[in-house]
A and B are shown apart, each in its own frame.
Chain A
């Protein structure tokens, strides 16, 4: 961490080489439709930013993602606590979870298209589904790995059952739950392209497909870049949230 200027330099150098290779490849390829020059892509990116088109699609996609993630948290976390605490609940629910989990969100697309049609609901549903499992699994794990001695210590201080849940179990499980949320985000964001490509009239995934059909390749590249950037920024935001909510986690080595 004392090498930040150096790291920046190395990054710039690597990207420089990357762009150079790209440009050379572009020259060699001779088909601008397939591989536009880096300059053209940057130009397209700049134009899209200026016209606000990228921000428009990006915000639509991001909003859908936030909605889906929130829904997933609201359903999966309480369920996860229930399953983690009650053997019975786990015995009832787990088989269903384990049967659905291997069926990827993508595999749901045709059926979901039938049920929801093209629109906002479809991407949200797919992202909800994809994000649900990591959060659930991590919540159960978080509850299970609660140090029994902390619970014992709390009981020797005369702490009742509900306060035990709220003041010991929840904070103890929180770091693992946060990791689950970050994993869920990564998985959902990866699914958004597929969902919007086929099933939405707007958003970054839609835009990629739209411009591909119009053979406006620089714009396709630009939108792909946007997906990467937004994903990266959101993850940074989540990491920050993680640090704020669970400041002790880094010390104990639970959270990455």
Chain B
């Protein structure tokens, strides 16, 4: 495990881009050997498609649509998660009683709930929102409970000896103390939520026969089943990835702002 501490920035950068560049080049070469009418995706065509989709604005609007849904569903799910998490963290009785139910639902993935959601809410936005809320709920809940449990008993006792009311203790001692864990939970939840929305839109798009909800997942499905365009699918995949990264980065920045004492 020799440490090459003095690797120049340039050589590191070169190594960084070698594989991706190589893969793209090989991919393009392979695609070029195919007959001209082939549907197979190729890097150059993907770029072309990206430009097209951007110019019509459909890519941006679909992305925004998905994001809007994610944010809404995430807000609901994490709101519930924090509230319940605080309640469970603060009161062992609540925790004891709710734990069996929560732990039983945890292994049931959001996607497994989808058919039921479709059954209850149809094939539109409400279903997508429900799935996202369900997906966001658990990471937030679990991390909130964990965060509350890690707040030092001493701090709470100290507050009590100063005659602080229970409600104020909750909001002024427990909540800030649990904040790092809560924020971790929300960051994880957002990642899961983004995946869930894509999945929900894909599946709902499939069920509703291509009409209906809109959004990136929906768009991907359309390009899969109707206006078959693999290059467009690749573009959508890339967008999914980029947005996921951006969301994660934003949440990390947000974390730094909210809990400066941790950084």
In the complex, whether B1 has a CB less than 8 A from a CB of chain A is yes
Q: Judging by beta carbons under 8 Å apart, are A102 and B248 in contact?
A: yes
- Shortest 4 CB-CB contacts between residues of A and residues of B: A190-B109, A231-B107, A102-B244, A110-B224
**SS class of chain B's interface: helix, strand, loop or mixed?**
helix
Q: Judging by beta carbons under 8 Å apart, are B202 and A110 in contact?
A: yes
Q: Judging by beta carbons under 8 Å apart, are B107 and A197 in contact?
A: no
CB distance from B236 to the nearest CB of A (A): 7
What are 21 contact pairs spanning A and B, CB under 8 A? Answer: A10-B97, A18-B101, A35-B120, A87-B4, A92-B15, A94-B16, A95-B19, A102-B242, A102-B245, A103-B241, A103-B244, A106-B199, A110-B221, A114-B224, A192-B109, A193-B114, A194-B199, A221-B116, A231-B108, A232-B107, A235-B107
- Interface positions of A from 91 to 132, Cβ below 8 Å from B: 91-96, 99-100, 102-104, 106-111, 113-114
Question: Which A-chain residue is minimally distant from B196 (CB atoms)?
Answer: A106
Most chain-A Cβ atoms within 10 A of its Cβ — which of B115, B203, B245?
B115
- Chain A residues in 8 Å Cβ range of B119: 33-34, 212, 217, 220
Question: Which A-chain residue is minimally distant from B4 (CB atoms)?
Answer: A87
- Interface positions of B from 1 to 36, Cβ below 8 Å from A: 1, 3-4, 7, 12, 15-20, 23
- Chain A residues in 8 Å Cβ range of B202: 106, 109-110, 194, 198
How many angstroms from the CA of A108 to the CA of B159 in the assembled complex? 52
- Chain B residues in 8 Å Cβ range of A48: none
- Chain B residues in 8 Å Cβ range of A114: 224, 230, 233
Q: A92-B19, A193-B109, A224-B108 are in contact. Are A14 and B100 (CB under 8 A)?
A: yes
Q: Judging by beta carbons under 8 Å apart, are B15 and A88 in contact?
A: yes
Q: Judging by beta carbons under 8 Å apart, are A220 and B115 in contact?
A: yes
In the complex, whether A248 has a CB less than 8 A from a CB of chain B is no
- Chain B residues in 8 Å Cβ range of A76: none
In the complex, whether A85 has a CB less than 8 A from a CB of chain B is yes
Most chain-A Cβ atoms within 10 A of its Cβ — which of B1, B96, B113?
B1
In the complex, whether A228 has a CB less than 8 A from a CB of chain B is yes
Q: Judging by beta carbons under 8 Å apart, are B23 and A96 in contact?
A: yes
Interface size class of A (residues with CB under 8 A): 35 or more
- Chain A residues in 8 Å Cβ range of B41: 111
How many angstroms from the CA of A221 to the CA of B105 in the assembled complex? 13
In the complex, whether A13 has a CB less than 8 A from a CB of chain B is yes
Question: Which A-chain residue is minimally distant from B236 (CB atoms)?
Answer: A107
Which residue numbers of A lie inside 8 Å of B, CB to CB? 10-11, 13-15, 17-18, 33-35, 85, 87-88, 91-96, 99-100, 102-104, 106-111, 113-114, 151, 186, 189-194, 197-198, 205, 208-209, 212, 217, 220-221, 224, 227-228, 231-232, 235
CB distance from B203 to the nearest CB of A (A): 6
In the complex, whether B98 has a CB less than 8 A from a CB of chain A is yes
- Chain B residues in 8 Å Cβ range of A108: 237
How many angstroms from the CA of A110 to the CA of B39 in the assembled complex? 14
Q: Judging by beta carbons under 8 Å apart, are B245 and A11 in contact?
A: no
B101: contacting residue among A14, A35, A85, A91, CB under 8 A? A14
- Chain B residues in 8 Å Cβ range of A94: 16
How many angstroms from the CA of A35 to the CA of B108 in the assembled complex? 18
How many angstroms from the CA of A234 to the CA of B252 in the assembled complex? 33
In the complex, whether B51 has a CB less than 8 A from a CB of chain A is no
- Chain A residues in 8 Å Cβ range of B101: 14-15, 18
In the complex, whether B60 has a CB less than 8 A from a CB of chain A is no
In the complex, whether B240 has a CB less than 8 A from a CB of chain A is yes
Q: Judging by beta carbons under 8 Å apart, are A95 and B16 in contact?
A: yes
How many angstroms from the CA of A208 to the CA of B16 in the assembled complex? 44
- Chain B residues in 8 Å Cβ range of A228: 104-105, 107-108, 112
How many angstroms from the CA of A208 to the CA of B105 in the assembled complex? 16
- Chain B residues in 8 Å Cβ range of A191: 109, 111
In the complex, whether B149 has a CB less than 8 A from a CB of chain A is no
In the complex, whether B223 has a CB less than 8 A from a CB of chain A is yes
Q: A18-B101, A93-B19 are in contact. Are A189 and B241 (CB under 8 A)?
A: no
CB distance from B37 to the nearest CB of A (A): 16
- Chain B residues in 8 Å Cβ range of A95: 16-17, 19-20
